[in-house]
Structure 1
Amino acid sequence: MKIQTKFHGEVKIEEKDLFTFEGGIPGFIDEKQFALLPLEGSPFIVLQSMKTREVAFIVSSPFEIFQNYEVKVSQDVISDLYIDSEKDVSIYVILTVRDPFNETTANLQAPIVLNMSNQLGKQFIMNSSNYSIRELLIPSPEQEER
């Protein structure tokens, strides 16, 4: 099928490449199906809604940027996404891209959890974590000294 996207214009998406978020994404509960579209020339990916062209999130693997980042997925998420093996899981975080780029932040408190084997996804809010919803992607010099 062909869809209009926020950042890529018209693209062809295969049914097998769709991820279903049965409960939507917080703030976007009516958006149930998404596709991952790479942003050429960058480490970033677009999580594009299939329903609404304007609903698209820039995401990235947090582990490449934040070396000590840990996600403890709850039993509810494991059950909701029918996760059988850790190798089936991909984790992404939503970025808030700002100008200038060094003010861009990542939501480390609420990662996107994808089960790659059955194409189910969920945004998981880690309430008991010390992570922020606005963690700088590029630490300021003051933060690097800590």
Structure 2
Amino acid sequence: MRIDTKAYGFLEVDVRQKIEFPQGLYGFEGLSDYVLLDARQSPFYWLQSLNVKETAFVLIDPLIVRPDYNADIDPQDYEALKLTGPEDDRFLQFVVVTIPADGRGMTVNLQGPLIINKDIQEGRQCISRDNEWHVQHNIIEEMKANENRAC
């Protein structure tokens, strides 16, 4: 499948990279079709809208930022995706990264993780029921704090 991306221009991607978000993402409810791409800068990913080229999100696995992360989402969210929970082999989880114009102070939204069933290629943005998680967690500060927790 050939797509036009915000970050890389035209690319050939495998149809298995397509993810449908039937309810869209918060603030982008009208956009439901995306592809999940590896970013050229590991450990990041791109979630590129197939509807609007200019709409793309940088994602990361939240466990890279916070190894103790547990979103504690409503069980109905798992059921809607035909998942048994985070231990399900079909489960993928990402969080949205915000990168300021100056590139400093990158944050992640740990309150609204993206949950995906990779077998049915469907996802949804969920809301964490844990008050510890907010929409802006500084990536560098969180990773440094985790180093200190490990000692």
Deviates more, 1:16-25 or 1:124-133: 124-133
> 1:126 corresponds to which residue?
128
Following superposition, the deviation at residue 74 of structure 1 comes to 1.7
Deviation string 1:78-121 (CA, Å, 9 cap, x unpaired) is 12111146121011000001254440000000000010111110
The 5 A counterparts of 1:43-122 are: 43-84=43-84, 86-122=88-124
Q: Distance in 2 between matches of 1:137 and 1:42?
A: 14
> 2:4 corresponds to which residue?
4
Q: TM-score, normalised by structure 2?
A: 0.86
Corresponding position: 1:22 with 2:28: no
Q: 1:102 to 1:68 in 2, by over 3 A?
A: farther
Unaligned runs of 5+ in 2: none
User: Over the residues paired in the alignment, what is the CA RMSD in angstroms?
Assistant: 2.2
Number of residue pairs matched by the alignment? 145
3-state SS of 2:141 partner: coil
Q: TM-score, normalised by structure 1?
A: 0.89
Q: Sequence identity, in percent? A: 26
Following superposition, the deviation at residue 42 of structure 1 comes to 2.1
3-state SS of 1:87 partner: coil
Following superposition, the deviation at residue 15 of structure 1 comes to 2.5
